[in-house]
């Protein structure tokens, strides 16, 4: 109890914590709203400053900027169809479709409210189930991770509206691009064509910027008659009367889908607990779980998709801290840097951290609550300022978007090759979009392709080439059945016409 009281005093009664939290929230919103500048980059740029800060303020800044950057990635996703962070790519089409129908404020307010709720749910899981979930995650073998990643890939096909074959083709394109570079297992170069830059593979962030952002610019330049709300400066249809009206929509959505939000928060926190999974997979899996029948109103379903995915990816942020604190195993790239910061402060993550630094651990729990509450006013300000984008004339907005695409692609590694990657993927995205092939599965294929291949080869090699190693444990069997169930449901819903009581090919 004494450590809890100390943590309450450190977090809520120290004005320095509030100041750092506010400044970090603004910084995270800015970084997340610029396409290509992810939450991971926000933390990476900040880490050198932690050398002059005490441990609590360092963690305060990292927790806050991460939570805010994840939400801020939805702002360009909705207004420009450019995912600000990889986690936003899962529901980019839904948010942009809502913007085109004049529901940008509603979509962003739904994302904001559910991001806050998801972050708070993740904090609750972190507080009450941290040790238990970390112990469970430590039992996962490479076989379980293979099925988990495959479940994420399957979700990309399941959640897509329209023909499943086109979504599957997009996924295969992404998996093909993921094979470029050195093999993760055998270190053999593939499809490098003598280019040293390709040995590291295709960086998925420049690829994502090109697929979603540059392709939209090219589409507007090539089709003078095709105008979108974000690119033309024409104001969307007046359905969002005010920011407060949009908040009321978000509140009603939260109230009407309370159980769905709880499910998405649980999914996000559980997936975040697994090292290497992260908010990206959490968003895709939660999106797949939120699917409804074709008789549901389209706009309501799109808002539900945004709500579920935003809840899951925010909950996953807290979940990723569980293995990091309890075992010293980074749950994602952000917590990997956090472990480095803690070690620099002579704090060793592991089972003994509760005994040696209990007040700090409880302070971290409280910081997740404070950071998500701070997200509300800062996020509303970002939505208000972001709404001005739709009123910018096309001749002004398109060069600005192109500039952000170039900066975002170059800033990752300071490499011109990443810029060329972005340009090439922009052309590819234009071609795929013209053929009505969804781009989200392409991005997910690039992100998870290497991980799926690596886990598959490791599992089969350890079993002397037997594929039965993939289903040799109870958890792997459950995950395999989930994957099979997803594909079976997708095939069933594709061929079965509700209300007709028969199967027929569309």
| pLDDT the model gives residue 423 | 92
**Do you know the residue count of the chain?**
506
Residues 279, 39: Cα–Cα separation, whole Å: 11
Average pLDDT estimate for 327-351? 73
- pLDDT class for 239, splitting at 50, 70, 90? very low
- Look at residue 105 in the predicted model and tell me its pLDDT: 84
Distance (Å, whole) CA 244 – CA 109? 9
The pLDDT tens digits of the residues spanning 23-67 come to 999 988 888 777 666 677 777 778 778 778 888 888 888 889 888
Q: Across residues 407-431, what is the average pLDDT?
A: 86
Helix, strand, coil shares, percent, the chain, to 5: 75, 0, 20
Provide the pLDDT for residue 162: 65
Would you place residue 236 in the very low, low, confident or very high pLDDT band (cuts 50, 70, 90)?
A: very low
Would you kindly state where each structural domain of the chain is located, as residue ranges? 2-496
The answer to whether residues 212 and 89 touch, using CB atoms and an 8 Å cutoff, is yes
- pLDDT per position as a tens digit, 435-458: 888 887 888 788 778 888 888 888
Residue 232 has pLDDT above 70, yes or no: no
Looking at residue 11, its pLDDT comes to: 81
Q: Distance from first CA to last CA of the chain, Å, rounded?
A: 63
pLDDT digits 0-9 by tens, 159-214: 666 677 888 898 899 999 988 888 766 677 888 887 888 888 888 778 888 887 78
Q: Is the dihedral of CA 259, 261, 263, 269 positive or negative?
A: negative
Mean pLDDT of the chain: 79
Structure token digits, residue 405:
């695409």
Task: State the pTM of this model.
Answer: 0.73
């Amino acid at each position: 109890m004494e450590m809890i009281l100390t943590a309450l005093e450190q977090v809520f009664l120290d004005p320095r914590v509030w100041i750092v939290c506010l400044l970090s929230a603004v910084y995270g919103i800015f970084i997340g709203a610029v396409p290509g500048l992810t939450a991971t980059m926000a933390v990476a740029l900040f880490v050198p400053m932690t050398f002059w800060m005490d441990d609590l303020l360092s963690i305060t800044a990292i927790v806050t900027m991460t939570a805010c950057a994840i939400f801020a990635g939805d702002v360009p996703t909705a207004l420009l169809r450019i995912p600000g962070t990889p986690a936003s790519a899962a529901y980019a089409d839904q948010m942009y479709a809502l913007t085109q129908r004049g529901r940008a404020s509603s979509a962003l307010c739904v994302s904001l409210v559910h991001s806050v709720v998801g972050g708070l749910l993740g904090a609750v899981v972190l507080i009450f189930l941290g040790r238990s979930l970390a112990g469970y995650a430590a039992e996962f073998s490479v076989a379980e991770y293979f099925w988990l990643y495959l479940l994420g890939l399957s979700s990309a096909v399941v959640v897509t509206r329209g023909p499943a074959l086109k979504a599957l083709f997009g996924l295969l394109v992404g998996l093909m691009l993921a094979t470029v570079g050195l093999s993760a297992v055998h270190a053999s170069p593939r499809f490098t064509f003598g280019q040293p830059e390709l040995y590291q593979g295709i960086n998925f962030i420049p690829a994502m910027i090109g697929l979603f952002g540059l392709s939209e610019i090219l589409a507007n330049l090539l089709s003078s008659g095709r105008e979108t709300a974000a690119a033309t400066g024409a104001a969307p249809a007046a359905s969002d009367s005010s920011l407060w009206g949009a908040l009321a929509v978000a509140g009603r959505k939260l109230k009407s889908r309370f159980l769905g939000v709880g499910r998405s928060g649980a999914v996000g926190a559980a997936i975040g607990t697994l090292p290497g999974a992260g908010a990206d997979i959490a968003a895709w899996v939660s999106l797949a779980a939120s699917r409804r029948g074709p008789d549901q109103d389209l706009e309501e379903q799109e808002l539900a998709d945004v709500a579920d995915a935003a809840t899951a990816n925010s909950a996953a942020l807290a979940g990723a801290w569980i293995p990091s604190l309890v075992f010293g195993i980074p749950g994602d790239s952000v917590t990997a840097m956090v472990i480095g910061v803690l070690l620099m402060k002579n704090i060793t993550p592991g089972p003994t951290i509760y005994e040696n630094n209990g007040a700090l651990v409880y302070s971290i729990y409280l910081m997740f609550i404070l950071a998500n509450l701070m997200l509300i006013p800062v996020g509303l300000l970002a939505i208000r300022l972001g709404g001005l984008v739709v009123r910018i004339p096309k001749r002004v907005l398109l060069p600005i978007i192109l500039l952000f695409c170039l900066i975002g692609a170059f800033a990752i590694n300071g490499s011109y090759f990443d810029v060329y990657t972005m340009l090439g993927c922009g052309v590819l995205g234009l071609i795929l979009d013209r053929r009505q092939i969804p781009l989200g599965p392409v991005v997910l294929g690039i992100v998870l392709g290497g991980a799926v291949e690596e886990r598959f080869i490791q599992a089969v090699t350890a079993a002397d080439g037997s594929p039965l190693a993939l289903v040799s444990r109870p958890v792997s069997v459950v995950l395999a059945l989930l994957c099979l169930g997803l594909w079976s449901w997708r095939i069933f819903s594709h061929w079965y016409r509700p209300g007709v009581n028969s199967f027929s090919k569309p």
